[in-house]
Structure 1
Amino acid sequence: MAETAAMPASHPERASAADWIAVAAGSLGALMATLDISITNSALPQIQGEIGATGTEGTWISTGYLMSEIVIIPLAAWLTRVFGLRKFLLGAAVLFILFSMMCGLSHTLTAMIIGRIGQGLTGGAMIPTGQTIIRSRLPMSQLPIGMTLFGLIVLLGPLLGPVLGGWLTENISWSWCFFINLPVCIGLIALLLLGLPPDHPQWDALKQADWLGIAGLSAGLSSLTVVLEEGQRERWFESNMIVWLSLLSLAGMVLIAISQFTAKRPVMRLSLLRNPRYASVILIVLVVGAVFYSVIYLIPQFLGLIAGYNAEQSGWVMLVSGVPAFLMMPMLPRLLGKVDFRIMVITGLMCFVVSCMLDIHLTAQSVGHDFFWSQLIRGAGQMLVFMPLNQASMAAVTREEAGDAAGVYNMARNLGGSIGLAVIGTVIDRRNTFHVATIRESLTANSVLGQDRLAANAAGWFARTGDMAYAKMRALGQLAAQIQQQAMVITFSEVFYVLGIALLCCIPLALLLKTPSYGAPAAAGH
């Protein structure tokens, strides 16, 4: 398989206005899709109360979106060939509006989950297609600008979601977390009509479709996502649901593997991974995706459980990591055209590692500003890692393979996120239990510090209530809460340490990356 793409001789050296409008449309669609992953997190308690769902049932509002999104991402390239890029994206945008309205008007859990699954299917299709538009419409000399814009949007979407969702919920209504998609989608539709030329569907692609691979992909990836998202809450294989879904996921993976040998054009082209440069990108983005989504989960959890922040306040802390993205955006296209990708990615990974190590010294008194420097360094690391990886994934394949490559790339990033969240969820649960038990064992009846703390707390409560029995009970409760808090702080510090080590392990893979030649003539290979 060729590692590089040959540029058609007829492709212009400079993109036209229509090309840039198409790029803007693809980027806006990707922003909407990534934003909707996290925008409901802030509003989840209010949504659950409105539709009468329990906390466990409410998790399906997020899981439904993720399971459908991860299925549609690798299918997007095939669907684009069937319907044509313009018709496919216009249809996805219209359906996304309808499903968003359904979510905003929902009064039952069933309607909400159906709407979220629909949002995931239609919104998820816009992520790889946006990347494909940039790769196919821009000449190599302008590819860094387009990919920087796209990468910035994909990074900022999950960061903006909690802040925007929290503000809308507090000041207007949780329904506006979904209604806000209406004006955005109308703008997207206008850009698509202006920027993309009319195209014709290829219905023959339906007859020649890899239906075995489509069935395996749909069953395997959706089941795997549910297992990863719900496994910890269901106590993993103690749950019959998790056992059956794991078996279904395994069966789906077997069907995908078989389709690689039986289908004329597999719906998921795993043969792209034979290219070591592309494979190294996928492995790095899998791990970095796991760390990226884990950090987005960990910091708000710490601020909520330890510092008492609400979702909107935590969201503002998270936005600090977006500041380097805006500061670096003007210079990144130039860096991407001149600096070796291996140097950029390794530097970015080291920034990520340093930011994780800064967060291993947390205490029960840590608040939002204690994350300031780690967030800034992490934000710089994200840009230096994701921007070159975005372009390296596209530069490693031909133009004809760009759609399939974008699907596998984005699927790997999202799958890495699900795996990362599942792993750290299990680690947090088990390590927290261990630390609680360890601290309790040290606070025996012979512990002078423990007895002094109990006596001081009891005296304080007795002064307020005049009831010594009640005062002792409250003092014991306070001590138990403090033990839980300290155990949680230790656990979070350990998780940040593990994430840093995982990133260090990616550095050797970065040596396999290849920097594309952006200054090559249009007809030359790159």
Structure 2
Amino acid sequence: MSDAASPTSQGAEQAPTPAAPQPPVFQPMPLPRALGYMSASIVIALTQGMAQGFVSTNIPQIAGDLGATTTQASWLMAAFLIPRASMPLLLIKLRAQYGLRRFAEVAIVIYVVVALLSFAALDLRSAITTQFFAGMASAPLSTLAFLYALEPLPPAWKMRLGLPVSLSMIAVGPHLARVISPALMNDQGWGALHLMTLGMAGISLALVYLLPLKSPPRVKAIAPLDLVSWLLIACGFGGLITGFVMGPTLWWTEVPWLGKVVAASVVCLTLAVVIELHRKAPLLDIRWLASPAMLHLTVTLLVFRLILSEQSAGAPRMFQMLSITQSQLVPLFAVISVATVLGGLALIPWLKPERVPVIHLIALVLIAAGAFLDSRSTLDTRPVQMMFSQGLIAFAGSLFMAPAMMRGLMAALARGPNYLLSFVIVFLSTQSIGGAAGSGMFTTFINHGQALHLQVLREELMTVDPLVARELAARVAQLAPQIADPAQSRAQAAALIAQEASNLAYVLAYNDAYFLTFLAAIAAASALVLHMGRDWLAAHWPRGRNPSPSAESLQ
């Protein structure tokens, strides 16, 4: 993905001896220009991340602007995520065939055009269509942010500095959107979000044209069957994301077509695997992806993605249920944003391949600690009380991502550039689908747990409990100055107690989910410790030693 990883085959053909191709010689940039490339990486990463965060953060407000329900507006998030899951797979081929510079310029122009079209979205249908194209147009921006971070760095620092910086900036975008969107929405509604997105897209456009990327030699990379496999993968990923995003909202068993969509997506992915297994030059090397090392990496990425869903689907929705407004959540997400950036920066002095397991272990311990602290929430819990725990989880998320991607990239490039696509599909499937699956499973668990807790609480309220009678009498006394009719005040007091019971049931369900996240993180950390112990024994156990006792030892 970087210049240092792209061999120059032309130089090898002109050499008088059949020597191996040599990578291009790195030419240091002047410091101001290098800082410009790093700044471009940060701006492009924030442009992509904040565009996604603006939609996911403001679904209820956007629904009101469009005259739709919150359930109907949830399709906006699904429409944005569906193309994001599979487009980068095709974009890597396009970049190789048509050149990196042209790819960057065309990609950012398309994104600006889509940002302009967003102003024409006046109803739900046009908004969903616009969000689909916005997700498609934003897919190249993550790659561009990554490449701009690598461009000015010498080979020794590309993975150590460029990778943590770019990934932390991509990760902080959705959190930062929660920090600034309340002020924007209060002024002009959804139009202000469109204006902010367009402005950042325009800045990114200028940076891309002022600071062009160096293009490796073009190669013919796209074969007809590549498009067939990509379409099947896109349909499969799109179906899974649709199911996981809309399943908890529409409820899985209430809408028959959800099961059909998920089943069809599995069929499409199966056909793609069958096609790729029978190709001489496959788009994806399925056999390599099924090797023990890649399966271990895939499971690691998926487990972390599922665990980290606690931050996106947990605390924000719990506070929304507790009637905490978006503006009251601004300090919490400011802390989360700072912790995300600090996590990426903390990796720079320590990031080496041999330290990846230890870094992942530290991240798991931090996630477990944060989730355990969250599992003690009450009806009186407020955002300020979760700043420390959510900061730990955000810091741990940045600690995890860059080492995991570095390990995958090194494993892919060690086998050749063609294996890069195979790793990309693993990374995408675990991050895009894993993120949607984690959020969907978390929300499903919350809804089911709330129903169970509410049933138990209602049974307790129906019994002749002195504490319930005392609370009811206290509420009637509070409402007496406002409601003269005793029967009406008693009914109103009973309704308030029932509403508090419903809220308490939600808090208890969230506590169960937080504690389940804690257990999952502890289990993953224990498995990692066992794996590290096995590797240590394999490295230090004497090989070739005869386990049977010698004659001298028997005497």
Q: Which amino acid aligns with 1:372?
A: M
2:468 to 450, 466, 486: 450
Tell which deviates more after alignment, 191-200 or 284-293: 191-200
The residue number in structure 1 matching 2:213 is 196
The residue number in structure 2 matching 1:46 is 61
The residue number in structure 2 matching 1:410 is 428
1:348 to 340, 359, 363: 363
Q: Is the 8 A contact 1:362 1:489 kept in 2?
A: yes
The residue number in structure 1 matching 2:120 is 105
Q: Is the 8 A contact 2:167 2:344 kept in 1?
A: no
Q: Which amino acid aligns with 1:58?
A: A
2:313 to 293, 297, 310: 297
Q: Is the 8 A contact 2:99 2:218 kept in 1?
A: yes
Q: Distance in 1 between matches of 2:317 and 2:235?
A: 31
The residue number in structure 1 matching 2:451 is 433
Deviations 1:451-500 (A, max 9, x none): 11112212322232211121011011011011111111111111011112
* TM-score, normalised via structure 2 length: 0.84
Secondary structure of the structure 2 residue equivalent to 1:446: coil
Is 1:359 equivalent to 2:374 in the alignment?
A: yes
Quote the offset at 1:417 in angstroms: 0.8
Q: Is the 8 A contact 1:355 1:374 kept in 2?
A: yes
Quote the offset at 1:174 in angstroms: 1.8
Q: Distance in 2 between matches of 1:462 and 1:263?
A: 79
The residue number in structure 1 matching 2:347 is 332
Is 1:156 equivalent to 2:172 in the alignment?
A: yes
Query: How many corresponding residue pairs?
Result: 507
2:298 to 282, 297, 302: 282
Quote the offset at 1:226 in angstroms: 0.3
Q: Distance in 2 between matches of 1:338 and 1:472?
A: 66
Quote the offset at 1:179 in angstroms: 2.2
Secondary structure of the structure 1 residue equivalent to 2:190: coil
Q: Distance in 2 between matches of 1:183 and 1:367?
A: 34
The residue number in structure 1 matching 2:550 is none
Q: Distance in 2 between matches of 1:79 and 1:20?
A: 28
Quote the offset at 1:343 in angstroms: 0.9
Structure 2 gaps, min length 5: 8-20, 533-555
The residue number in structure 2 matching 1:371 is 386
The residue number in structure 1 matching 2:541 is none
Deviations 1:23-72 (A, max 9, x none): 65455433322222221234333322232222221111111101121121
Q: Which amino acid aligns with 1:316?
A: P
Q: Distance in 2 between matches of 1:68 and 1:506?
A: 31
Q: 1:316 to 1:339 in 2, by over 3 A?
A: farther
1:29 to 44, 53, 63: 44
The residue number in structure 1 matching 2:195 is 179
Q: Is the 8 A contact 2:343 2:397 kept in 1?
A: no
Q: Which amino acid aligns with 2:270?
A: V
Q: Which amino acid aligns with 2:169?
A: I
The residue number in structure 2 matching 1:469 is 487
Q: Is the 8 A contact 2:343 2:399 kept in 1?
A: no
Q: Which amino acid aligns with 1:262?
A: H
Deviations 1:349-388 (A, max 9, x none): 1111110001111111110111022123223322322232
Answer 1 or 2: higher relative contact order, Cα 8 Å, separation at least 6.
1
Secondary structure of the structure 1 residue equivalent to 2:462: coil
2:102 to 70, 76, 87: 87
* TM-score, normalised via structure 1 length: 0.88
Q: Distance in 2 between matches of 1:488 and 1:95?
A: 43
Is 1:384 equivalent to 2:402 in the alignment?
A: no
Q: Is the 8 A contact 2:341 2:398 kept in 1?
A: no
Q: Distance in 2 between matches of 1:312 and 1:100?
A: 25
1:253 to 269, 287, 292: 269
Q: Distance in 1 between matches of 2:225 and 2:217?
A: 17
Q: Which amino acid aligns with 1:490?
A: L
Q: Distance in 1 between matches of 2:100 and 2:529?
A: 33
The residue number in structure 2 matching 1:236 is 252
Deviations 1:104-153 (A, max 9, x none): 33111111111100011110232245446656875441121101111211
- The share of aligned pairs that are identical, in percent, is 19
Secondary structure of the structure 2 residue equivalent to 1:41: helix
Quote the offset at 1:511 in angstroms: 7.3
Q: Which amino acid aligns with 1:228?
A: F
Q: Distance in 1 between matches of 2:174 and 2:310?
A: 12
Q: Is the 8 A contact 2:37 2:151 kept in 1?
A: no
Quote the offset at 1:19 in angstroms: 7.3
Q: 1:279 to 1:442 in 2, by over 3 A?
A: same
Q: Which amino acid aligns with 1:51?
A: L
Q: Is the 8 A contact 1:156 1:322 kept in 2?
A: yes
Q: Is the 8 A contact 2:302 2:434 kept in 1?
A: yes
Quote the offset at 1:94 in angstroms: 1.4
Secondary structure of the structure 2 residue equivalent to 1:506: helix
Deviations 1:287-327 (A, max 9, x none): 22222233122111122212x22123224312312323444
Tell which deviates more after alignment, 67-76 or 207-216: 207-216
Q: Is the 8 A contact 2:66 2:124 kept in 1?
A: yes
Q: Which amino acid aligns with 1:312?
A: S
Q: Distance in 1 between matches of 2:36 and 2:280?
A: 35
Q: 1:178 to 1:511 in 2, by over 3 A?
A: farther
Secondary structure of the structure 1 residue equivalent to 2:112: helix
Secondary structure of the structure 1 residue equivalent to 2:163: helix
Q: Is the 8 A contact 2:361 2:528 kept in 1?
A: no
Is 1:460 equivalent to 2:475 in the alignment?
A: no
Q: Is the 8 A contact 1:80 1:88 kept in 2?
A: yes
Alpha-carbon RMSD across the aligned residues, in angstroms, is: 2.7
Q: Which amino acid aligns with 2:300?
A: I
Q: 1:14 to 1:82 in 2, by over 3 A?
A: closer
Work out which of the two has the higher radius of gyration on C-alpha atoms and give 1 or 2: 2
Q: Distance in 2 between matches of 1:272 and 1:33?
A: 31
Q: 1:325 to 1:40 in 2, by over 3 A?
A: closer
Tell which deviates more after alignment, 472-481 or 36-45: 36-45
Quote the offset at 1:219 in angstroms: 1.1
Quote the offset at 1:505 in angstroms: 3.2
Q: 1:389 to 1:169 in 2, by over 3 A?
A: same
Q: Is the 8 A contact 2:310 2:514 kept in 1?
A: no
Q: Which amino acid aligns with 1:225?
A: I
